[in-house]
Chains A and B, each alone.
Chain A
Amino acid sequence: MSGRFSAAIDYTLALAVLLFAWWLATGPMGLPTYLLPSPLRTWNALVTIALTGELWRHLGFTLQNIVLGLILGCIAGIAIAYVMTRFPKLAVWLDGPLVILQTAPKIALAPLFIVWFGFGVLSKIVLIFSLVFFPVFVGAVAGFRALDPKMKDLSKLLGLSSIQRFRQIELPAAMPEIFVGLKIGAVQALVGAVLAEWMSGKVGLGYLMTFASATYKTPLLFAAVLMTVVLGLLLHVALTILERRLLSWKGAARG
């Protein structure tokens, strides 16, 4: 508990120093607003769009895409990993195509996704999905393959159905590895969401950034950037809470 408290103080101090340096650069050192707006101007820009409701529309859109992409990517990653470990023959078939897809830089495929899936929400979710899928998939394969053979004996002795076996034994046993993938995937998801919005559409934090920079509204640009940082932190916190709940049985091992 006291460790957590001192960590909170450390974080606050670091943040304060950062803010002070920011203020120092804009105030006393006199950097122009179009290069670096002051903390106060940025804050004002943020409050303005928050009050008009514009902020929530953009934030909500981006968040919704990330959450959908994460959920779909996780389900598909876990499902395909499971099918491949259950049917090794299938794994031989799928290995090649999957390696090619995995090594292909998904960001470079983004324009293609827009051509295929349009300017709307679908192409964005597809991009996020493709970024989340692989880390989760790789983690899940590792997790399913690492299953203690004695656990297989146990499920055979108890005559568990496939569903019981998956839900009660295989999925929880693979959860630590799946989470490693999910955490990487979540960072990627945010990058993918913002990038997709840069490229097309009229809503989202990424769009807000391109709009602000195109119209030289640097304080607004800063506000949008700050919100993506906050979004990233929120995602991190949410995943950490989920991890503590699902993996508390792992005990002290914590990064």
Chain B
Amino acid sequence: MSQSERMIDIAGVHKTFVADHGTVTALEPVSITIKEGEFISIVGPSGCGKSTLLRLISGLDQASGGSIKLDVSGRKRPVGFVFQEPVLLPWKTIIDNVRFPLDTSGISRGQGDKTALDLIKMVGLAGFEKALPRQLSGGMRQRAAIARALSDDPPILLMDEPFSAVDLLTRDNLNDELLRIWQSTGKTILLVTHSVEEAAYLADRVMVMTARPGKLKCVHNVELLRPRGEETKLDPAYHALVAQLRRDLRTPAGEAH
């Protein structure tokens, strides 16, 4: 399988918007090239533009300048997006929610059901196909949201702090499952997070961003062995990276956050 070396090519992308008191820079020019199948974490404080960057890549917002190229050969929906909240349709069952992207692109019901059932099994929700979102826990709803994002098989998965609303234990589980899903599907994943531990544990590369104005400060390669698991969290190299990320994020000269 030939992999694209430039799955996501971001060149000088920046974003400003007009507020009451003048223009605000949400994101200073960012350039980075992401390979197919890479797992990228983006870590930074609130207001560093990490969610903005994700929205620009997804096409939800337009950049003020620069270019974003996706090597996806004209697909209608190149990216799957997982929001901070699950954003499921509360009147649809889990399987109907997962099948929703397929239903709205003219895939037959039978084919859609088959895909949706496979995905529901993959995210560990087998047996909850007919449940309504409100009947599930926060973590289970987020699993359903991941299944929906994957349902029409986009090559790129963008995740905007997907696990920030679930408890720590659930979060650890979801992280491991995400790694398993990533390994079995070969998606290119960009995951935005507040947590340096999560960023280091999951990614091939970690983009560190700082706030006011939002900019990309540095990118770290993560050399930790795959597959990762509990032993990774005991690895001194993991701790060194987490400590480094913390130092990177600390604002200079005691500037208040």
Q: How far is the CA of A135 from the CA of B194 in the complex (A)?
A: 45
A-B pairs under 8 A by CB, number: 43
Q: Is B108 on the interface with A (CB-CB < 8 A)?
A: no
The distance from the CB of B155 to the nearest CB of chain A, in whole angstroms, is: 15
Query: In chain B between 188 and 220, which residues have their CB closer than 8 angstroms to a CB of chain A?
Result: none
Number of residues from A at the complex interface, CB < 8 A: 18
Q: Is A164 on the interface with B (CB-CB < 8 A)?
A: yes
Interface string of B97-114 (1 = CB under 8 A from A): 000110011000000000
Query: In chain B between 15 and 41, which residues have their CB closer than 8 angstroms to a CB of chain A?
Result: none
Q: Which one of A150, A168, A249 contacts B104 once the chains associate, using CB atoms below 8 Å?
A: A168
Q: How far is the CA of A150 from the CA of B86 in the complex (A)?
A: 10
Query: Are B89 and A251 in contact, with the CB atoms below 8 A?
Result: no
Residues of B within 8 A of A24 (CB): none
Q: Is A172 on the interface with B (CB-CB < 8 A)?
A: yes
Q: Which one of B76, B85, B87, B100 contacts A168 once the chains associate, using CB atoms below 8 Å?
A: B100
Q: How far is the CA of A150 from the CA of B165 in the complex (A)?
A: 16
Q: Which one of B79, B105, B132 contacts A157 once the chains associate, using CB atoms below 8 Å?
A: B79
Interface string of B56-94 (1 = CB under 8 A from A): 001110000000000000001101010101010111100
Query: Are B100 and A157 in contact, with the CB atoms below 8 A?
Result: no
Residues of A within 8 A of B60 (CB): 153, 156-157
Residues of B within 8 A of A100 (CB): none
Query: Are A158 and B79 in contact, with the CB atoms below 8 A?
Result: no
Query: Are B104 and A160 in contact, with the CB atoms below 8 A?
Result: yes
The distance from the CB of B144 to the nearest CB of chain A, in whole angstroms, is: 13
Q: Is B134 on the interface with A (CB-CB < 8 A)?
A: yes
| Residue from the set A151, A158, A164 with the largest chain B CB neighbour count within 10 Å | A158
**Of all chain B residues, which has the CB nearest A168?**
B104
Q: How far is the CA of A158 from the CA of B154 in the complex (A)?
A: 11
Residues of A within 8 A of B101 (CB): 158
Residues of B within 8 A of A249 (CB): 90-92, 132, 134
A: residues with CB less than 8 A from B are: 148, 150-151, 153-154, 156-160, 164, 168-169, 172, 175, 249-251
Can you give 17 A-B contacts (C-beta < 8 A)? A150-B85, A150-B87, A153-B60, A153-B81, A156-B59, A156-B60, A157-B58, A157-B59, A158-B77, A158-B100, A164-B104, A168-B89, A169-B89, A249-B91, A249-B92, A249-B134, A250-B90
With A153-B83, A158-B100 known, 8 other A-B pairs at CB within 8 A are A148-B87, A150-B85, A151-B87, A153-B60, A156-B59, A158-B104, A164-B104, A169-B89
